[in-house]
Amino acid sequence: MELAGEEDDFAAREAESAATGVDIVAPGLATARGVETDRARTLAYTRRVVELVGHCDPDIDAARALVEAAAIDREGTVAVRARDVRRLTGVSTSDAEISIGSALVERGFDVDLDSPDHELRVYFSEDKCLVGWTVVESVRDFGDRKPTDRPFFQPGSMAPLDARAFVNIAGAKPGARILDPMCGTGGVLLEAGLAGADVVGVDAQEKMARGAKVNLDHYVGSGEVVRGDATALPFSDDSIDGVVFDAPYGRQSKIARHTLEELVRGALSEVARVSHRCVMVADRSWVEVAEAVGWEVEQVFERRVHRSLVRYVHLLNR
């Protein structure tokens, strides 16, 4: 799996929503078993999945020798795409493509660089080179949904790339019901809906609830948004498959009639009533509060947004 971004642990955790046995084997690269290709297309921090041919030292001659010796059960045209992952090796990717491509030509394949039947991916990374055939690529259309381009926009909206990763970790897929109890402009709902889930949002402000619904109708065409209180959700017990929400940040000391502490504690308690899985994003650790209301904290990722903001991504189960 070709990972995106710079945080491999986080990317690998998201990849587990589409595969089993995910294992980081080199910077930017992971292996996995049992990949669900339809779900892999929805991943944010995995660019593509390849069928592994083999691995070797990170140099061109070793990669060529691997391809020369490999069993290849494919017909049609081919192209070689090489990458120096994060520029860690200094390998010339153009030289690699020429050398390995010539090895394939010597084995009887025709090269088509524009529209090949098969793509051979060659990844040079720290201490390792992985070679494999492209199986599926994720859909990289997040730029089409920039918050400022949506029909309804308010400052502070979450980036689509991150929202997609969070909903994938929460279990977004066809047939799943995903909730955002503090939905704001609906960015989380959009990504969950586009991943195939049934989505429902709640927001304390009527303006936000209406705007989130406008965005949902524009991008997804379905989904429910209601005005409500995250500490008193209008849903029955265990009726939601996964929850994602971005808690208000510390500068917002009072929200509606709740203090920040009351809001987060109450929301976490209510979410535990309606669902068994939650991804909560915040500007600080809420581990003690989450555990106090009955959650098991699987993991907390600290992801730097800019110099003055670190997002704490809490993965919660019960």
In the chain, the percentage of residues whose pLDDT exceeds 70 is 97
| Whether 130 and 207 share a structural domain | no
Q: Tell me the pLDDT tens digit for each residue of 109-163.
A: 999 999 999 999 999 999 999 999 999 999 999 999 999 999 999 998 899 999 9
Looking at the predicted structure, is the pLDDT value of residue 66 above 90? yes
pLDDT band at 256 (very low <50, low <70, confident <90, very high): low
| Whether 121 and 188 share a structural domain | no
Please tell me the distance from the alpha carbon of residue 130 to that of residue 121, in angstroms, as a whole number: 8
- Amino acid symbol at 311: R
Q: Do 96 and 60 form a contact (C-beta atoms < 8 A)? A: yes
Residue 200: CA count within 13 A, CB half-sphere = 17
Please tell me the distance from the alpha carbon of residue 266 to that of residue 214, in angstroms, as a whole number: 28
User: According to the model, what pLDDT value does residue 165 have?
Assistant: 98
Q: Which helix (H) or strand (E) holds 55?
A: strand 46-56
Q: What is the largest CA-CA distance in the chain?
A: 73
Looking at the predicted structure, is the pLDDT value of residue 212 above 60? yes
What's the average model confidence in pLDDT over 254-260? 69
In the block, which residue shows the tokens 């046995």?
21
Q: Do 236 and 274 form a contact (C-beta atoms < 8 A)? A: yes
- Which of 87, 118, 137 is the endpoint of a domain? 137
| Whether 103 and 159 share a structural domain | no
Mean pLDDT over each residue of the chain, to the nearest integer: 95
What's the average model confidence in pLDDT over 245-257? 70
Q: Tell me the pLDDT tens digit for each residue of 1-52.
A: 999 999 999 999 999 999 999 999 999 999 999 999 999 999 999 999 999 9
| Whether 217 and 238 share a structural domain | yes
Looking at the predicted structure, is the pLDDT value of residue 253 above 50? no
| Whether 147 and 275 share a structural domain | yes
- Give the range of the structural domain holding residue 212, as residue numbers without chain letter: 142-317
Q: Which CATH number is 29's domain given?
A: 3.30.2130.30
| Whether 307 and 222 share a structural domain | yes
In this structure, the strands spanning 224-227 and 118-125 are unpaired
Looking at the predicted structure, is the pLDDT value of residue 254 above 80? no
| Whether 216 and 309 share a structural domain | yes
Q: Which CATH number is 271's domain given?
A: 3.40.50.150
Question: What ranges in 107-205 are assigned the alpha helix state H?
Answer: 160-170, 187-194
Please tell me the distance from the alpha carbon of residue 120 to that of residue 112, in angstroms, as a whole number: 12
